[in-house]
Structure 1
Amino acid sequence: MPIAIPRPLTPAPRRRLMLSLLAAITVAAATVAAPAASAAPPAPLGPTVTRTDEPPTGYAVTFRYRAPEDVQQVHIYGDWFYSRPENIPCQDCGDARPPAEWQPGDVAATPWHIQPMQKGSDGVWTFTTPLPAGTFRYAFTHDCTNELATGCALHDDPANPWQIQPQYPGAPGAVRSTIYVPTSKKFPTYDTGYQAPVTKIGRLESRRYTSPLSTNPPGVHDIVVYLPHGYDPNRVKPYPTLYLSHGGGDHSTAWTMQGVAHLILENAIKDRAVEPMVIVSTDFNGLPGGNEGYVNELRNNIFPFVEQNYHVSNRPQDRAFAGFSAGGSRAYTLMYNHTDLFGYHAAWSAGGPTATQAQIDRMKAVAGGIMIGTGLQDRLGNIAENSQRNAAALRAAGVDLDEYNVPGVHTWHVWRPLLNHYLRALTFRATTTGLDVTTAPAGASHNTKVTATATVGAVSTSTSAPSGRVDFYAGDTHLGSAPVHNGVARLKKTVHADLDAPVVAYYQGDKLFNGSQSAPVDAR
């Protein structure tokens, strides 16, 4: 069958066909919805810190939280209520002013109160409040009617969770999230830059070790270890170790997730105020035997595990301890009865029992140093009064200690600055100064040529050596000063008289090391 071949279109029909096709395309295009103008992306969930440069604090935080659909009302529950210090006659007393009413000189006080959030058309609950500088904890409640959140379940912020979570079912401790607010230059509130997040951060590790003493979890126990930025398991000198204890109702995550101890350390390292150290946050829950049981856990289980798994020193003078509240009670037990386990001791927000003479003698021999501190408005069991009383009694008995107290009650707003002070003023900063003095006649009658050589050394293992200067005295007479080079400061001087008083060398300290003095040396 022959195939019919279509005849080519003439120019006129071809033009008509093209116009028909264009018209069809135009109609079809008109039926397609034009793309909508790009809408702004929804605000992220979680907290947003905004610089406002407005009173009272210069900063505000907006919290955005999505609750289950059946929740009728969401409240935020945060540790940001304030009082005048003089208006706190008892624990959980005070003005209870929200941060919108913050005033210079206020202290963060308890109790916390719930504050209502507003539900938006997008189903997200929001709350905006000014906040002063510092680290704050917060949580959310669902359909809670108690102003203090008593009996209400607390929910953390899923958009801002803690990095380390409770390590075993039933672990005590509050459900919280944490936010940091910087200091406003225009409306300064608190000097809390030492708590700020840092760009160079180390590694947090949740570790479980064998513990025959532990009843919860049975046979094992938990610690949180922080390895500082740049931690080198192969460096020549091992790291010193700071051991921390939480208080009642918390566990081993408390010091980092709430106390931001690792950030406080890294800020101190950044300021060249301390050298890198390893932090071990312990858990005293589930350990029978009270304070002594905790000491046994440290000695028999925690020390061996840490020293076998991390490049840390096993010398007592390279260990420091600090605890607050119930952990401060354990700190006193270590300080009084097991002084030789640590070179540095700190007890915070704990009254402390009266020390016996034997305990006082042990404390006088501490290799590094002792710190006692509290919140000045801490009325929980008269802690503030008892802590200061005990510190005064120990000083009167001849114990060399650093007492450092700050405005505040029984909260993290007190324990964070106490840790900061401990790191920058005491831990692993101790030195010893030895002195050798020789004399010889110097020509003219009664002239004496004196050569005084001071040897300055660090008590704890350090990658740095003490620097600075040493002052030499004979009684009240200043013989002169000399710089420290490679641990030695040497003074040569001609004295126009006989030396009739012992010579003492006073090392002045530097940014990393505290001062010390030699024993008197009779040069006559």
Structure 2
Amino acid sequence: MPAPRRRLMLALLAAATVAVGATATPAASAAPPAPLGPTVIRTDQPPTGYSVTFRYRAPEDVQQVHIYGDWFYSRPENIPCQDCGDARPPAQWQPGDVAATPWHIQAMQKGSDGVWTFTTPLPAGTFRYAFTHDCTNELATGCTLHDDPANPWQIQPQYPGAPGAVRSTIYVPTSNKFPTYDTGYQAPVAKLGTLESRRYPSPLSTNPPGVHDIVVYLPHGYDPDRAKPYPTLYLSHGSGDHSTAWTMQGVAHLILENAIRDRAVEPMVIVSTDFNGLPGGNEGYVNELRNNIFPFVEQNYHVSTRPEDRAFGGFSAGGSRAYTIMYNHTDLFGYHAAWSAGGPNATQAQIDRMKAVAGGIMIGTGLQDRLGNIAENSQRNAAALRASGVDLDEYNVPGVHTWHVWRPLLNHYLRALAFRATTTGLGVETAPAGTSHNSKVIATATVGSVSTSMSAPSGTVDFYAGDTHLGSAPLHDGVARLKTTVHGELVGPVVAHYRGDNLFNGSQSPAVDAQ
């Protein structure tokens, strides 16, 4: 037999021997079973470039399993009411869609290994999901929701009967080939801080009686002995949730860490509160903050006790509490945010208090939020406050009454407002400059942060006399000094405008007449 043919026959015989061996001992070469839980898969295929496969093992006597997730979509113009819209599954996602309610169940398939599976494309973002057993209602009404034991929350509800929605989440990145949403600010991070479930004494609490719960997030690198205390962000959930909501469903800790990584904010402590079981409505919640939560947090963590170093944000029912705080108790916080809440009309006394807020105020909503006409009422109230002279940051995003709205609102709050306020002071001196027609001007601006910060404001200050730009000067150790010569006399008082930087917002000095 020729050598080439002999080599071919030997190769075929060897291959046949391996195949026979594999058949005889399947355990030796069989691929390991796929893991339970969700697996994110990059497909580079439309409509989203990514898909997720869910694997779930149900009890043997369950005849049908469905998955129930917040990934149904609608055109914004097709949402005339809450729980209205196209209700298209993610396989039919289109650019410009908003995540809408209601959710629907989708059937899973049972494999020969007894594991139920479901694969769907998903756009970028964080999604909640659960499983139903033998549920026949398309909206899962009346059906028990089961979380994913292979993908549980890091912190579970702290007491029996605590309200809470689905307790499993999955993050999908953005596809470069099929971009959907810019949600990288929600992405998991390599270096995470510490989540703590804490129970504190609460004479006001009726459930649990005498004690209440918070979830505290300490940022990566938290140092209990650093020179300056940390600022604190206090968050409130909405109806049907409790203290785990903002970190487990809202991924507030991931949003913070991504902002820190981008050098858009400094580290802060997050305290997620629980308004359930507190009598007295909104005012009862305020009393709980002042009398019980603040003392506990400030005694147990290295955080500042200054109101200027506290920020508050809440959505829906928590947004109602935010309005109560910013209208009537502005002294408790330097920064206020009310999201997805209409807000009552403000009295003149309340407007005056808001004008004196040291840090800033934010109002935001989902633009298609039809729950009680929230979108319309939120924008109306923001316009009324601005017309009354209240300086506020209004930021609205496409969406309805869901976490797909509240996550970007929190991200904006952190990167655009919270703990970023500055003050600018100004001193001006003038003197003759050689001729009677010229004046030498020395303008000195001092820029400081309203909140306690490990950094100092940097960047540039612009100086104006009326509409005339006198010049610009860089900040050094909080001071910017401009020396210039003006032809003739100054026209109008001098004002200094600090431009702001990555960590601090700009501010303007009072007008100063030249001396």
Same fold (TM over 0.5): yes
CA distance in 1, matches of 2:396, 2:269: 25
Following TM superposition, by how much is the alpha carbon of 1:443 offset from its aligned partner in structure 2, in angstroms? 1.1
Q: How big is each residue's C-alpha offset from its partner over 1:279-306, in whole Å with a ceiling of 9 and x where there is no partner? A: 0000000000000000000000000000
Superposed CA deviations along residues 137-196 of structure 1, whole A, max 9, x for unmatched, are: 000000000000000000000000000000001101113200000000000000000000
Rounded Cα–Cα distance in structure 2 between residues aligned with 1:480 and 1:12: 89
* Change in 2 beyond 3 A, CA 1:424/1:18: closer
Any idea what SS the aligned residue of 1:19 has? helix
Q: How far apart in 2 are the matches of 1:15 and 1:261?
A: 67
**Change in CA separation of 1:36 and 1:510 when aligned onto 2, cut-off 3 Å:** closer
Contact 2:186 2:254 in 1 (8 A): yes
Task: Please give the alpha-carbon distance, in whole angstroms, between the structure 1 residues aligned to 2:362 and 2:68.
Answer: 33
Relative to structure 1, is the Cα distance of residues 68 and 369 closer, same or farther in structure 2, using a 3 angstrom cutoff?
same
Q: What are the residue-to-residue correspondences of 1:20-419 with 2, within 5 Å?
A: 37-419=28-410
Output one character per residue of 1:330-369: Cα deviation in whole Å (capped at 9) or x when no partner: 0000000000100000000000000000000000000000
Structure 1 247/15 Cα, relative in aligned 2: closer, same or farther at 3 Å? closer
- Distance change (3 Å), C-alpha of 1:121 and 1:24: closer
The answer to whether the 8 Å contact 2:67/2:106 transfers is yes
Distance of 1:114 and 1:245 partners within structure 2: 29
Unaligned runs of 5+ in 1: 1-10
Task: Compute the displacement of 1:84 (Å).
Answer: 0.1
| Contiguous gaps of at least 5 residues in structure 2 | none
Distance 1:474-1:144 versus aligned 2 partners, 3 A rule: same
Are the structure 2 counterparts of residues 476 and 244 from structure 1 closer, same or farther at C-alpha, using a change threshold of 3 Å?
same
Shift of 1:444: 1.0
Shift, 1:38, TM fit:
1.7
CA distance in 2, matches of 1:513, 1:41: 52
Cα distance change of structure 1 residues 121 and 29 upon mapping to structure 2, 3 Å threshold? closer
Partner SS, residue 29 of structure 2: coil
Select between 26-35 and 422-431 the one with higher mean Cα deviation.
26-35
Residues 1:19 and 1:474: Cα distance change in structure 2 (over 3 Å): closer
For structure 1, which segment, 492-501 or 230-239, has the greater mean C-alpha deviation from structure 2 after superposition? Answer: 492-501
Cα 1:35–1:440 change in 2 (3 A) is closer
List aligned pairs for 1:462-473, cutoff 5 A: 462-473=453-464
Question: Alpha-carbon deviations, 1:77-116, whole Å to 9, x = none?
Answer: 0000000000000000000000000000000000000000
In structure 1, what is the Cα distance between the partners aligned to 2:345 and 2:4?
A: 114
* Stretch of structure 1 that moved more, 493-502 or 114-123: 493-502
The 2-side partners of 1:348 and 1:198 are apart by 26
Q: Identity over the aligned pairs, expressed in percent?
A: 90
* CA distance, structure 1, for counterparts of residue 468 and residue 7 of structure 2: 118
Q: Secondary structure at the match of 2:436?
A: coil
Task: Confirm or deny: 8 A CA contact 2:498 2:508 kept in the other structure.
Answer: yes
Give the Cα–Cα distance (whole angstroms) in 1 for the partners of residues 4 and 441 of structure 2. 123
For the structure 1 residues 474 and 123, does the alpha-carbon distance in structure 2 shift closer, same or farther, using more than 3 Å as the test? Answer: same
Change (3 A) 1:119 1:345: same
The answer to whether residue 449 in structure 2 is matched with residue 458 in structure 1 is yes
Taking the aligned partners of 2:170 and 2:9, their CA distance within structure 1 comes to 66
Question: Cα offset for 1:255?
Answer: 0.1
* C-alpha contact (below 8 Å) 2:22/2:28 kept by paired residues: no
Q: Which moved more, 1:193-202 or 1:438-447?
A: 438-447
1:19 CA drift (Å): 31
> What CA distance in whole angstroms lies between the structure 1 residues aligned with 2:367 and 2:22?
75
Distance of 2:455 and 2:150 partners within structure 1: 42
Distance in 1 (CA, whole Å) between partners of 2:367 and 2:323 is 19
Note closer, same or farther for the CA distance 1:83–1:13 as it changes in structure 2 (3 Å cut). closer
Closer, same or farther: CA 14–212 of 1 in aligned 2, 3 Å: closer
Cα deviation 1:197-250 (Å, max 9, x = unaligned): 000100000000000000000000000000000000000000000000000000
Counterpart secondary structure, 1:381? helix
TM-score normalised by length of structure 2: 0.95
Alpha-carbon contact 2:204-2:278 (below 8 Å) kept: yes
- The reply on whether 1:14 has 2:8 as its aligned counterpart is no
Q: 1:82 to 1:41 in 2, by over 3 A?
A: same
- For the residues of structure 1 that align with 2:9 and 2:172, how far apart are their CA atoms? 68
Distance 1:400 1:19, change over 3 A: closer
- Separation in structure 2 between the aligned mates of residue 84 and residue 454 of structure 1, nearest angstrom: 50
C-alpha separation between the residues in 2 aligned to 1:29 and 1:341?
A: 76
| Range 293-302 or range 493-502, more displaced | 493-502
Distance 1:36 1:434 in 2: 76
1:385-423 deviation digits (Å, cap 9, x = unpaired): 000000000000000000000000000000000000000
In 2 relative to 1, CA 266–390 (structure 1 residues): closer, same or farther, beyond 3 Å? same
> C-alpha distance in 1, partners of 2:104/2:91?
14
Indicate how the Cα distance of structure 1 residues 499 and 80 shifts in structure 2: closer, same or farther if over 3 A, else same. Answer: same
Relative to structure 1, is the Cα distance of residues 455 and 156 closer, same or farther in structure 2, using a 3 angstrom cutoff? same
- Provide the TM-score with structure 1 as the length reference: 0.94
- 1:500: Cα distance to partner? 2.9
String of CA shifts for 1:41-95, please: whole Å, max 9, x gaps: 0000000000000000000000000000000000000000000000000000000
Residues of 2 paired with 1:474 and 1:16: CA distance? 93
Structure 1 residues 265 and 14: alpha-carbon distance in aligned structure 2, compared to 1, 3 A threshold: closer
